[in-house]
Amino acid sequence: DAKTTQPPSMDCAEGRAANLPCNHSTISGNEYVYWYRQIHSQGPQYIIHGLKNNETNEMASLIITEDRKSSTLILPHATLRDTAVYYCIVINYGQNFVFGPGTRLSVLP
């Protein structure tokens, strides 16, 4: 079973920041938080991952709370092409990904 809880769907206005929450209250000290997304009719695509510190790359920012029980993926300026299902996954080194149902983000014009 997935170790994370995400809202099933969210809307965001084009050009605004999209903030996607993820709850992982049972995360252990060695487990990482990974985010993938899946655009319609494509395979999932890696976005970002982190352990404790906040992370940023060219796609998104990952904010992890100090107690590590939740995190937020931030798309700073959402575009229509960001419409997708976003998966938050918690795994340890050497483990395989367990995908939950994710959050369906709809970016509206």
Partner 1 sequence: EAGVAQSPRYKIIEKRQSVAFWCNPISGHATLYWYQQILGQGPKLLIQFQNNGVVDDSQLPKDRFSAERLKGVDSTLKIQPAKLEDSAVYLCASSQTPDRGSSYNEQFFGPGTRLTVL
Structure tokens at 54: 């906040």
Q: Pick one of 41, 67, 81, 109: the residue that binds partner 1 (CB under 8 A).
A: 41
**Would you say 14 or 59 has its CB closer to partner 1?**
59
Length of the chain equals 109
Residue closer to partner 1 by CB (options 32, 63) is 32
14 versus 100: smaller Cβ distance to partner 1: 100
The two structure tokens encoding residue 41: 């009719």
DSSP string, 23-61: E-TT--TT-EEEEEEE-TTS--EEEEEESSS-EE-SS-E
Q: Which residues bind partner 1 (CB under 8 A)?
A: 2, 32, 34, 41-46, 49, 51, 85, 87, 91, 93-94, 96-102
